[in-house]
Amino acid sequence: MANNFDVAVIGAGPGGYVAAIRAAQLGLNTVCIDEFKSADGKPSLGGTCLNVGCIPSKALLESSENYERALHKFGDHGIEIKDVSLDVATMLGRKDKIVQQFTGGISLLFKKNKITSIHGHGRLTGAGDVFQIEVTKDNGSQTIGAKHVIIATGSLPRQIEGVAVDNVRICDNTGALSLNEVPGKLGVIGAGVIGLEMGSVWRRLGSEVTVLEALPDFLAAADDAISREALRIFTKSVGLDIKLGCKIQNVKAGKKSLSVEFEHEGELRKMEFDRLVVAVGRVPNTENLGLDAVGVKVDERGFVEVDERNRTGVPNIYAIGDVVRGPMLAHKSSEEGVAVAETIAGQHGHVNLDTIPWVIYTSPEIAWVGKTEQQLKAEGRAYRSGQFPFIVSGRARALGETAGFLKMLADADSDRILGVHILGPFASELIAEAVVAMEFGATAEDIARIVHAHPSLSEAMHEAALGVDDRFLSL
């Protein structure tokens, strides 16, 4: 195997593997180094997203939603199913199969694009015209040289001091995606994206779920109106017991149960759980990466420092994805990967961090892009808003998914769309129209004058745009 490359990518998550493919497409001789191993000990490309993140969590969300529909929703349609039962092993097997199809697909894409794929831990050992990377493999080590390096090493779950994750009883995302039975009582620490998605999965499958959140506010990054309504729905209809403003004091693993002591509303409380999921955020992964050896700097929170084009302070070393500033989202990582590969090839790669869509795959889903109403208020910016409830949508009624609303915020003078916030069915799909609109600098009036199919959920976007000018047609 030749040991000198134009580009070495460290990490094969959605940032790294996409960067490698784009670099190879642009004619650069590319190597991608990745150390991830799946539970069976085999190398598996795709990083957190494909192995223990986006893909397996969405598989389980879909399965658990189907179970809930069969139990509680089909009856409304006059469909009676007797003796609904759950086979967790089959559900997990389906999820694992989906993961394997995608991770295996990346190996094929690497072959097709003539990318050299090396399994092992990459560490930068030397700088100069050519950077040296030592790769520690299961069967020895190898040093490769590359003119350009893309760091795409992703993130790891944040730990709580004194809480030992074993991924059997006390789990991070990896264990939470593979519980082999439905726990009677599931505790979740952290009411963020993972806590809500995984809490929803196991709640639908029958667990009693309690979510302990440190902050007094629920989903602080979302628009206030969305977080308020989502909290109401998640507690009242979904059945998650969400306790805000909790200070975890200690977690003890007894023989039968896990006991969690926490302060809540001025009292010291104790709860017992069968399983615990810890989802308190993720930290950038720069473990044993050799950043010092080449002079790459990290900030006070451990993120690799980069400029707006993902350049580190060291010429020809770039960093992308979860290991740098910005939202920890797969699509953000991938777009940065494309942009950096194009920059290396002499083009002008760029990612607009202001129009990255966010999606939380709860039921109803939450999605947004752009500014929240509270941000616009804090900035003192004059805006107008239109809000349309899904209960008035014919398609939402037919689906039987009428909770939530779509809200559009537009500049009071120019009418340019500044943000769109959705709580409702297929919010993950609906948000794409808002992202396109904002990237093209569209106004609310533009959306109001575009024909939207009837009956479709997208009419909610149309109506909210009309609502910005106070001329709803269905309200």
Residues with catalytic annotation? 454
Question: Out of ligand NAD, ligand FAD, none, which partner does residue 189 contact, by CB within 5 to 8 A per kind?
Answer: ligand NAD
Q: Which is nearer to ligand NAD, 216 or 315 (CB)?
A: 216
Beta strands in 60-167 (DSSP E): 116-119, 121-126, 131-137, 140-151, 155-157
The answer for 167, left when phi > 0, alpha when psi is -120 to 50, beta otherwise, is left
How far apart are the C-alpha atoms of 39 and 103, rounded to whole Å? 13
Shortest reach from residue 388's CB to ligand FAD, in Å: 25
Question: Out of ligand FAD, ligand NAD, none, which partner does residue 15 contact, by CB within 5 to 8 A per kind?
Answer: ligand FAD
Place of tokens 């670099």: 23
Shortest reach from residue 167's CB to ligand FAD, in Å: 13
CB 329 within 8 A of CB 336: no
Q: Which is nearer to ligand FAD, 344 or 465 (CB)?
A: 344
Question: Cα–Cα distances in Å, from 447 out to 353, 409, 433, 472?
Answer: 22, 12, 9, 13
SS3 assignment, position 10: strand
Question: Out of ligand NAD, ligand FAD, none, which partner does residue 10 contact, by CB within 5 to 8 A per kind?
Answer: ligand FAD
How far apart are the C-alpha atoms of 459 and 475, rounded to whole Å? 12
Shortest reach from residue 278's CB to ligand FAD, in Å: 12
Q: Which is nearer to ligand NAD, 328 or 447 (CB)?
A: 328
Within a 13 Å sphere around the CA of 332, how many CA atoms are in the beta-carbon half? 23
Q: Which is nearer to ligand FAD, 14 or 386 (CB)?
A: 14
Shortest reach from residue 335's CB to ligand NAD, in Å: 14
CB 396 within 8 A of CB 381: no
Question: Out of ligand NAD, ligand FAD, none, which partner does residue 280 contact, by CB within 5 to 8 A per kind?
Answer: ligand NAD
SS3 assignment, position 33: strand
Question: Out of ligand NAD, ligand FAD, none, which partner does residue 321 contact, by CB within 5 to 8 A per kind?
Answer: ligand FAD
Q: Which residue is nearest to ligand NAD (CB)?
A: 192
Shortest reach from residue 137's CB to ligand NAD, in Å: 29
Q: Which is nearer to ligand FAD, 54 or 238 (CB)?
A: 54
Give the strand pairing for 185-189 and 170-171: unpaired
Place of tokens 């179970």: 67
Shortest reach from residue 308's CB to ligand FAD, in Å: 17
Question: Out of ligand FAD, ligand NAD, none, which partner does residue 47 contact, by CB within 5 to 8 A per kind?
Answer: ligand FAD
Question: Cα–Cα distances in Å, from 466 out to 127, 383, 395, 415, 460?
Answer: 57, 14, 19, 12, 10
Three-state helix/strand/coil letters over 267-291: EEEEEEECEEEECCCEEECCCCCCH
Binding site residues, ligand FAD, CB under 6 A: 10-16, 33-36, 47-49, 53-54, 57, 121-122, 152-155, 173, 194, 285, 289, 321-322, 328-331, 333
Q: Which is nearer to ligand FAD, 109 or 392 (CB)?
A: 109
Q: Which is nearer to ligand FAD, 34 or 373 (CB)?
A: 34
List the structure tokens of 235. Answer: 């507690």
Binding site residues, ligand NAD, CB under 6 A: 160, 189-195, 197, 212-215, 246, 248, 279-282, 327-329, 359-361
What are the helix (H) ranges across 3-46? 16-25
CB 433 within 8 A of CB 459: no
Question: Out of ligand NAD, ligand FAD, none, which partner does residue 49 contact, by CB within 5 to 8 A per kind?
Answer: ligand FAD
Shortest reach from residue 17's CB to ligand FAD, in Å: 8
Q: Which helix (H) or strand (E) holds 460?
A: helix 459-468
